[in-house]
Structure formats: structure tokens, C-alpha cells
Amino acid sequence: MNIEQKINQLREELREHNHNYYVLDTPTISDYEFDLKLKELQELETNHPQHYDPNSPTLRVGGEITKNFKTVTHEFRMYSLANSYSKEELEDWEKRIKKFVDGVIEYTCELKYDGASINLSYENGELLRGVTRGDGYQGDDVTTNIKTIKSVPLKLKGNFPKRFDIRGEIILPFEGFAKMNKTREEAGEDLYRNPRNTASGSLKLQDSREVAKRPLECLLYSIKGKGLPFTTQFEGLENAREWGFKVPKAAKIARNMTEVMDYINYWDIHRYDLPYETDGVVIKVNSFYQQEELGYTAKVPRWAIAFKFKSEQAVTILHKITYQVGRTGAITPVANLEPIDLAGTIVKRASLHNADQIEKLDIREGDTVFVEKGGEIIPKIVGVDLEKRTKNLQHTSYITHCPKCNTELVRKDGDAKHFCPNIMGCPPQIIGRIQHFISRKAMDIEGLGGETVALLVENGLIINYADLYDLTEDKLIPLERMAQKSAENLINGVEASKQITFERVLFSLGIRFVGETVAKKLARHYKSINALANASEEELILVDEIGDVIAKSVVSFFSSEENKTLIDRLKLYGLQLEISSERLTNQTDKLEGKTFVVSGIFFKVTRNELKQLIEDNGGKVSSSISKKTAYVIAGENIGPSKKTKAESLKVPIITEDEFLLMIS
């Protein structure tokens, strides 16, 4: 056996032993024997560097230093999940999805692991990269640290697709967390607060050797890719397990909502027997075909929902109520609390939402209050212990003037919150609008963060987002913590933002009620900022999914002289304030006024591409058939009830080819 063969043999043996120990929990050799083989392989690789393998088992010990984590765009967006807290909410969700799909629906029930989300990409059976969830669209490349986690396979076994992504949670089991804290306690260091935050923080450590010391695990739950060799979520889990991934066996198929609730009720009791944290159950429509039929909203998949176990509750003292000012001028009252440990984190503040909530609960400074984590994330006050209230506590009078600029607050009919109307002169509103403008989903300006924005405003260098385009290096360098390189990066980032597309520029302007989805619809419909600025409320309401509230907000924004001046300056600086001619050539009005329903499996274009073609040609996509439906585009395996309904309403059913011919 030559050197290369010996190296490959050791690698294969170590991968197998590693899988047996960390994934199957059935070790076949002792730790001592494993370490001897690992040491032998390390020596061979050191002496024969020509046989380097980026996925060798020796790399699990770490050693690489990462100063800056590269941002990577996810090939498949990582969506959030809608939450539910009762059987009734789950039944409502089931009623909604049954309106969209035909036939029997079965569900895959899985535990909701409480860790740090990760997306792993594999190519030809080898780990390509590991990327954090980030904002769902893009995250940080933490591959070097991921390779140190023993339950993440660096090479796969069996019959796997050539290219795919797999998602999961990086978690820290209770036993390992306890050992870490014992070591820190003996060293006289501060203890880690909880396993979830510790696991999440581990992924961004610069020294992978430190990550390797932590007993992290990776539990996988979702595969994304094209041409996958299975058609259901449950089959995907079974396949992933065969390829070498650690997939908990708690997942189960449920044929109806009664079986779903049985699963939830069982784990609500037995979750405390698990070796790691879980805060609920995820219910998914099992069939990939039905998942595709259901699709997504702007934020969540329609085919999945999380059931959250009852939140932990704590009792503490409310010392003081303060008030925050948001970028839209909205005032949010905040309870400043006696610090309390809640679900593994120290809680010092909680939202009081608005004046009505304070009045409803009759919350007063000095009260003993009950605090919960809403959805296990945001602390909120859910009640007052009136038996412990002393007679001298004063009734809470909601503030009448802005806490930052002293402008008298306003509250319009139908608004739950009070607002500061000093839009152009209130510091938190100024900073908040600029922070929104530079955010990742908006202008995504490299080298410019929230703290730097505040620094620029406080030093009088900017008072609105248009001022960013007047900044120069010599203005920036005198600022605290602003070196030559930082100034260069900021200026370059601002310059690069001039290439951001019109719909994202529109979103970045911060028009109230105009989020990402609405901005896309308005950009596609009006095609330029000039056309949008000249639209009346009546015209805006005619745009798909634009109602009275959004229409009034848009007209109000563009009627402001200050905003008109800002837009004129942005035009002057060269921002993309209209859809480019290249994109316009792919858009027509051929399908104007026509509504389409898409059903079945397609081969020449994907379902999403089909929907995009409809919208690019002026049409509208609907999920249900009605008298207003112009056409049903039918692929293979069209839902029988959709076909029946289309025929009963005399809605034409066309093929994929007929549609493509229609827009050619």
C-alpha cells in the first residue's frame, strides 16, 4: 500500500468511526484508538502535503483564523415560520391550506430545535460551505467553523444528489453546556447564559480551534435542491440520515390534526427528557407537490407552521417607564425592570406596546409584574400582581410630548400608537430613516452601520439619506473611530449603492406601509419614481393589493416639499429611480387585466418562473379559481377539484406551451 492509499484508508476509517460515535451514538473503537489513528493521519498529511484534502477528518481540530466572514447569498431563501399557540389556530391554518390544495393532506411533525440556523451546501458528496441564516436572503460564510462540528459530515455516503442544500440548527446539548460552564467557573470566568446564545456565538468565533473545543452538534431538518430523489418531507429526512446526517428520529407522519395534537401534547411533557433545548413543534405539509401548490407569502411558507409551547413566566418589579421614538415617529413605552432570569436570558426591559395596553393592565411604576417571552423571543408584561401593589403608587399618565425633541404628540383615529410629528427635526427619526435606507434589504451600503449613522448625524455631517452622497474622505477621517481604510470603504459602499434596483430604492425611502412586497408591486406598475409621485389615491387603489391606507401614505409622502427635494437630489446623484431599459424590454402589457391560476407540475419553466412571466407581462396570479379568472395554466397532475371548478365556471384551461405562445 502506497502513501496515498494509506492516507485515503485512514480518512475513510476515521469518517466511519466519527459517524458511529457522533451521529449514531454507537462507537466501535475507544477514544484512545481513534486519537492514535488521527495522529497518524496528521503526520502523513504534514509530510505529504501534495495529498491535501479540504474535507479531511484532521481539519475538525480547527486552526484556521477568520478575520472577516464573507457574505453569501442563499440559493434558496431561508424563510421564517408563522407561529401558533393553540389547537384552534392550527385548525384555522388547516382550513386555509385546504382551500389551496386538492386531496388528502398528511403532515410531518418535527421538534423545533432552539439553536442557530445553518445552511450547508454539498457538491459531489463533499461539504462546499456552511452559511448562517442571516436575513434569510444572505448570511455569513462560517465553513471553517462548521468543519469542526463532528456531526456535520464532510463527505457523504450512499446515493446522494450531485448538488443540494440542507438546513438545520447548530445546538449545544445541556451536558456539554454544563461542562463548559464548570470549566469557566473553575477558571474564575463569567458563565455563559444559555446554550442557544452560546451555540450561535460559537459560529462567529475567529479562531476555529476555539470552536472545535465546544461540543456543538448539528441537527438537520430540510433539504433544498433541484431534481431531488424523493417527493415528501419525511422521505427527505430518511434519505438525509442514510447519507450521514444527524436527523433526530422524533419526526413523525400525522394523517390529521388529531394526530398532530397528540404529537404536540406528548412532546410538551417529554421535551424535558431531551438532551437539548426545544421550544415547540414544526408542522409541515408532507407532500412536496402540495407544498409547491401552497407556495409562500412575503415572509413565511404557507405549507408550514410552528406550534410554540407555553412561554415561561417570571415575576419582577417595574422600576420605571421610559419612551422610545421609532423612525416613523411612533412612540413605544418600555418597562425598565429589576433584572430577572427568564428562559435562560437576563431580562431588564419589556415592551408595553402603547397607551391602551398600559391603561388596560393599569400598569404603574413600582408594580410587581408578570413577564413572559412573546413567542420565546420578545419579553412582554402580561399582568400585574395587584395583591402586592402599595397604596402610594401613582396612576401612569402617558406622555404628551416627544421625549427627544419635546414636540407635542399626535394620535390619529384608528392608530394604536402616539406619534411625534416633527419628522425632519426629531433625532431618532432622522437616524432611524437613514438606518433603514442603508439596511441590507434596502440599499445595503457596505462599510456603513447603524452606529456610524448615529455618529454622522450627531456630528452634523448628515441630516437625511441624500446627504450620504455628499460625504468625502476628508470629512470622515476626523471622526472618532474612523480610520483612512474605514472612510474609503464607506465612500465606496455609498458609490456602489447607485446600482441598486428601483424597487429596492423605493423600499429604502421609508414610505410608511410600503414594505418590500408593496415596493415591488408599485415599481413594476409605475416603472419610475416620477410616475409614482404623480399618481392620485384613486389611481393607486386600482393597483393590485394596494388599499386606501397605502395609497394615502404614498400620496402624503410625495406631497411633502422636503421629500420632493430629497428625491430630486437622489436623481442628481444617479440612483436607479426607474426600471432599467433592459428590464423593461422583458415587460409587456399583453396580459393586462387578466388573472391566472397555476396548477400542476411544469417542465419547460418552473412554477415560480411561470408566475414571474405572468406578472412581467401585466397579468395577475391568483391561488383560487373564480369567475374573474381568465385562464388556468394546467401542468401534469393538475388538482382534480381545480379542474372541476374551472370547467363548471367555463374558465379556459391551457397548457404550459399554449401560455408561452400567448406571450411570445
Residue by residue, DSSP assigns 247-313 as --TT-EEESSHHHHHHHHHHHHHHGGGSSS-EEEEEEEESBHHHHHHH-B-SSSBTTEEEEEPPPPE
* Of 363-367, 408-412, 521-525, 635-639, minimum mean pLDDT range: 635-639
Does 383 have pLDDT greater than 70? yes
H or E element that contains 93? helix 87-98
* Of 97-111, 512-526, 574-588, minimum mean pLDDT range: 574-588
Pairing state between β 252-254 and 107-113: antiparallel
Which pLDDT belongs to residue 63? 57
Residue by residue, DSSP assigns 106-174 as -EEEEEEE-SEEEEEEEETTEEEEEEE-TTSSEEEB-HHHHTT-TTS-SB--SS--SEEEEEEEEE--H
Q: What percent of the chain has pLDDT over 90?
A: 54
CB 522, CB 554: distance < 8 Å: yes
H or E element that contains 203? none
CA atoms of 247 and 78, how far apart (whole Å): 19
Does 377 have pLDDT greater than 70? no
Q: Which residues pair with 342 in a beta bridge?
A: 345
Does 376 have pLDDT greater than 50? no
What number is the average pLDDT over the span 576-598?
82
* Joined grid coordinates for residue 584: 423593461
* Joined grid coordinates for residue 149: 462540528
pLDDT digits (tens, 9 = 90+) for 539-555: 998 887 788 889 999 99
Domains present along the chain, CATH in parentheses = 3-61 (1.10.287.610), 73-308 (3.30.470.30), 313-388 (2.40.50.140), 427-499 (1.10.150.20), 502-584 (1.10.150.20), 595-663 (3.40.50.10190)
CB 618, CB 591: distance < 8 Å: yes
Most confident of 59-73, 196-210, 231-245: 231-245
Half-sphere exposure of 372 (CA within 13 A, CB side): 9
CB 624, CB 99: distance < 8 Å: yes
**pTM of the predicted structure, to 2 decimals:** 0.66
Which pLDDT belongs to residue 344? 67
- Please tell me which residue in 112, 147, 380, 520 is annotated as part of the active site: 112
CA atoms of 151 and 165, how far apart (whole Å): 16
Task: Give the chain's mean pLDDT.
Answer: 88
| Degrees to nearest 5, angle at CA 161 with 130 and 304 | 65
CA atoms of 321 and 319, how far apart (whole Å): 7
Residues 6+ apart with CB under 8 A from 94: 105, 257
* Joined grid coordinates for residue 449: 452601520
What number is the average pLDDT over the span 447-473?
93
What number is the average pLDDT over the span 147-172?
94
Residue 547 backbone phi and psi in degrees, to 5? -100, -175
In terms of pLDDT, which residue wins out, 33 or 161?
161
pLDDT digits (tens, 9 = 90+) for 602-624: 888 888 788 878 888 888 888 78
CB 431, CB 453: distance < 8 Å: yes
What number is the average pLDDT over the span 259-263?
97
Question: What amino acid is encoded at 176 in this protein?
Answer: G
pLDDT digits (tens, 9 = 90+) for 62-111: 556 676 788 898 999 999 898 898 999 999 999 999 988 888 999 999 99
CA atoms of 546 and 541, how far apart (whole Å): 5
pLDDT digits (tens, 9 = 90+) for 289-324: 899 888 887 778 999 999 988 877 889 999 999 999
Concerning whether 112 is annotated as a catalytic residue, the answer is: yes
Does 441 have pLDDT greater than 90? no
Which pLDDT belongs to residue 37? 77
Most confident of 211-215, 235-239, 421-425: 235-239
Residue 426 backbone phi and psi in degrees, to 5? -90, 115
CA atoms of 380 and 544, how far apart (whole Å): 36
CA atoms of 539 and 551, how far apart (whole Å): 9
